[in-house]
């Protein structure tokens, strides 16, 4: 009898523990709750192929042909793209935020004369450099931008300061520079942005204007936006989109605008929804191209909206929107990453400087059309 009693006790304990699992026949509502919690666990276990984080960058799109590129110049661009993206990758790898990754990555490209942003900004008609930038947080939908600054060394830093330390979204010109000074950002003499290469480009455009001026009225000779040579030139705007380990997306864009611009022209780069957009519900996007058309098409936001409202893939959304830009008469490209870590670099030009890195440390760099 003493041997049987422990056996009976064990059987009772096993059966009583079994009652902890909801019986669908007894309580269907409990079963629904159990299924929900189980599905969450299964989802986490099955996400082995979903990247923990991802980062993608661009350094401008346009008529970038291998036949016009020296081996040395190509190597320089690839080296700088790799340097920039590895900065953001390390931040993400170590658990840093997508906002930090975007900011610091763009800083590297802003500090290089290779790109039309920061140090390498193109010249206006008045032979000055006017810089624009924007950044957006996909978690909060907060955003910041600056336009037409001439003394802020890293415009993306100013855009972020506007986002985080002001009640505004965009500041411009002297007011933006005053705000930058109050925030302790690095200011430089305007001559810092001077590069001989960019100045020579401006002079060539002005020469074409002068030749055209004798044939048409003065205003028609203003070829900044519609001259074929400008349209087909490389657009060197820089940008970055990133997803961090916490599932937060961010995007940023920085540029010197368009060669020979005047009248205080502002392109798409500092305009939220055109040059930059990020939303944790869909994706993060940075654009580069012919700004007038990217503004009209609201490129960055439109890609996000197609994903969120029509439930289509990032790749398909990007292609649809760039096709719309092309139909309007504009060209350029985008880089983007969605909430699942899928990355897309798409463009309707002959090339786009670009690079990607995933959580496995796999690096991909591209320049020409594949």
218 assigned to active site: no
Give the chain's radius of gyration (CA, Å).
26
- Name the nearest CA neighbour of 240 among 167, 133, 147, 139: 133
Of residues 103, 124, 237, 253, which has the active-site annotation?
A: 237
**CA–CA gap between residue 298 and residue 253 (Å, rounded):** 15
What is the maximum span of the chain, computed from C-alpha positions, in angstroms? 118
Helix-helix angle 98-110:155-165, to 10 degrees: 150
CB atoms within 10 A of CB 89: 24
The residues carrying an active-site annotation are: 237
């Amino acid at each position: 009898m003493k041997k049987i009693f422990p056996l009976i006790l064990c059987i009772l304990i096993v059966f009583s523990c079994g009652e902890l699992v909801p019986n669908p026949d007894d309580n269907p509502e409990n079963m629904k709750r159990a299924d929900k919690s189980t599905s969450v666990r299964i989802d986490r276990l099955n996400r082995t192929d979903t990247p923990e984080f991802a980062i993608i960058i661009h350094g401008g799109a346009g008529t970038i042909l291998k036949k016009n590129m020296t081996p040395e110049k190509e190597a320089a661009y690839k080296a700088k793209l790799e340097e920039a993206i590895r900065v953001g990758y390390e931040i993400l790898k170590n658990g840093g935020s997508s906002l930090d990754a975007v900011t610091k990555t763009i800083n590297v490209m802003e500090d290089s004369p290779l790109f039309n942003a920061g140090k390498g900004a193109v010249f206006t008609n008045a032979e000055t450099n006017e810089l624009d930038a924007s950044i957006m947080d996909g978690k909060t939908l907060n955003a910041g931008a600056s336009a037409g600054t001439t003394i802020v060394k890293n415009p993306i830093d100013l855009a972020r300061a506007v986002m985080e330390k002001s009640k505004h979204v965009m500041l411009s010109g002297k007011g933006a520079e005053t705000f930058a000074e109050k925030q302790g950002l690095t200011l430089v003499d305007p001559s810092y942005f001077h590069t001989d290469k960019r100045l020579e480009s401006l002079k060539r455009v002005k020469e074409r204007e002068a030749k055209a001026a004798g044939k048409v009225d003065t205003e028609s000779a203003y070829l900044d936006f519609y001259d074929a040579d400008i349209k087909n030139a490389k657009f060197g705007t820089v940008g970055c989109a990133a997803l961090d380990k916490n599932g937060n997306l961010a995007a940023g864009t920085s540029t010197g605008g368009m060669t020979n611009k005047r009248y205080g022209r502002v392109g798409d780069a500092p305009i939220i929804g055109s040059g930059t957009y990020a939303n944790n519900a869909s994706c993060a996007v940075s654009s580069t191209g012919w700004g007038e058309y990217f503004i009209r098409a609201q490129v960055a936001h439109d890609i996000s909206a197609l994903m969120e409202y029509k439930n289509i893939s990032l790749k398909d959304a990007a292609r649809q929107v760039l096709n719309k830009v092309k139909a309007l008469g504009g060209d350029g490209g985008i880089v983007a990453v969605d909430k699942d870590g899928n990355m897309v670099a798409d463009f309707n030009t002959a090339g786009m400087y670009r690079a990607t890195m995933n959580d496995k440390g796999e690096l991909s760099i591209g320049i020409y059309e594949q």
